[in-house]
Structure formats: C-alpha cells, structure tokens
Chain A
C-alpha cells in the first residue's frame, strides 16, 4: 500500500514539474486519499475509539 501511494505521489510531483496541471491535481487527490487510507489502516485502533 505504501509503495503504491508513494508512486502516485511521485507521479504527482513529476506532473507538476512538467506543467501538467490537471494531471498533477488528479494525482495529488489520489495521493492524499491514499495517505488517509493507509493512515487509517495503521491507526484504526485509535480512530475506532473516536468514531
């Protein structure tokens, strides 16, 4: 999971670097969603107490 998110983040950075604005924003959104999902996967014990 972390590797997949990492490659999405890398793609977002390269899209921004090569001025592909729409791709960069789409990949950014996917990367951010990935970070949140993986965070939930690793921290679900605490987050289950909150929600």
Chain B
C-alpha cells in the first residue's frame, strides 16, 4: 500500500511481544461480546468435554476447582488490534480436562461453545501441551462476568475471539467446522503472529 500523506503514527516502541498490526492497550481491556452478558452463577456453571473422546465428562464448579491449579501469565491479542501485556489468568490447564476425557486418535478439531451459544473452532493441537486453560481468576480476583466469568477458555497464542467466554464445553471432531466469527468472515485459525485476521489472510 502507499504511504498515507502526513501520517506518522504513535511513537515507535520496540516491543518484540507485539504481533504485526497490533498496539499496546495499556491498562484498557475492551469488552467485545456481541450478546448480553449472561447472569451465570458459579453453582450453575458446567463444563463438558465430549464428541470423539473415550470418556465424555462434565465438571461442575467444585470438580473443576479440584484439578491441579495452573495459571497463564503473559500477553493476549485481540483481532480488533489491541494487545494487553502481563495479564494473569488462574484456573486449570485444559490438558487436565482432556487427560480425563482422552481424545480419540481420529479427533483433529474442536468446537468450543459458551453458555450463550457462542462458538469458536480450533485445531485440537492448539488446545494441548500447556497452551490452553479454563480460567476463573483474573489477577488476584474472580474473573468478571463481562470478561467471561465465572469461567472462560483461554488460548492466548491465538486471537482472543477463540478464548470463548462463559465456556460450556468442547466437542471433539474429526474435521474442522467454523464457529461464529469464522462464519462471519474471520480466519479459521487466527494466529496473531501470522496476522490471520480474516478468511483468506
């Protein structure tokens, strides 16, 4: 593209943690859900792993909390161009849930869905190996409802629309099926380092 006349942009800060096309949102944490924030109490929350697994399983709040604690400390990246540095989410590693359910050898993809019916698709490989969590803490407190509390999925190495708020479950599949934004023109995988924002990127 051509240079935009007279545009200089914000001062350049060398930041190796900033993917291409992203800016540091600082203390802001924009909320971008398309639906009404659900009124979901921890006692009502459930998380199910089913589909192509040896043992379909549903966890309630206490059962999920009984798993070994695990936290993500690092950065998150939203497709709308903001990134947020040095956040902490506490919960349990998704590996702990998947180890119980035991994915079938033919399982390759996952649909993650929320208690509002929102969906996002992910390759199973992006959810294993200590790269995804079910979290209920932000910083030192409970995860706020507008940010997905009581519990959400986080997959911080992908754009954050994949990190389904108010997580209700994962369905393991042997093929890729687009979720909500992926049906609305967004990229199937959403790797911020390759700037996979839209279908065709």
**Do A and B interact with each other, yes or no?**
no
Spell out A's residues near B (CB within 8 Å).
none
